[in-house]
Amino acid sequence: MPVPVNENITLNVVTTVDAVTGITAERHDRKAATPAHMLAIIHEGADEKLGDDETPCGFSAWVRSYGVQVYIFQQDLADGVNFHTTLNTVRADIEKALMADVTRGGYAHNTEIQSPQEFVDSNDATGVVVFFDVTYRTDQYDPYEPAP
């Protein structure tokens, strides 16, 4: 069965983040994930259509926002390991992995890292969210066909 271009991009993101040493990546599936140390939840935004002035004739251009939410628990860090050092390293490792192939396996035109955000939730879960946007094109009449 064919896979839409935007789904192939998301699958690439999950695989890329999961390959980062020490990280376990899961795609957000609308169920509440149980926070775990070094668990990365991949959040997908809706596709936003880009204007015709930015798109060649016969194609549709889109941008999709993502957030990689990584849980880091102080109590699970080795003695003497600084929380913010771990947070900064995890963030940098994820950004580096994502930027190693900005085309997301050939399905996208670009990947752009946005400003990250540190978080603390009410259940003592802490960590960082790495935000990024992926720009891609499809055939105007076929969302399964990537545009050159």
129 and 67 Cβ atoms separated by less than 8 Å: yes
Distances (CA, A) of 148 to 4, 99, 107, 131, 132: 15, 20, 9, 26, 22
Residue 83: what are its φ and ψ, rounded to 5°? -60, -50
pLDDT at 77 over 90: no
Query: Could you report the per-residue pLDDT of 93-107, keeping only the tens digit for each?
Result: 999 999 999 999 999
Please state, in angstroms and rounded to a whole number, the distance separating the CA atoms of residues 82 and 134.
Answer: 32
Would you state the pLDDT for residue 94? Answer: 98
Query: Could you report the per-residue pLDDT of 23-38, keeping only the tens digit for each?
Result: 999 999 877 678 899 9
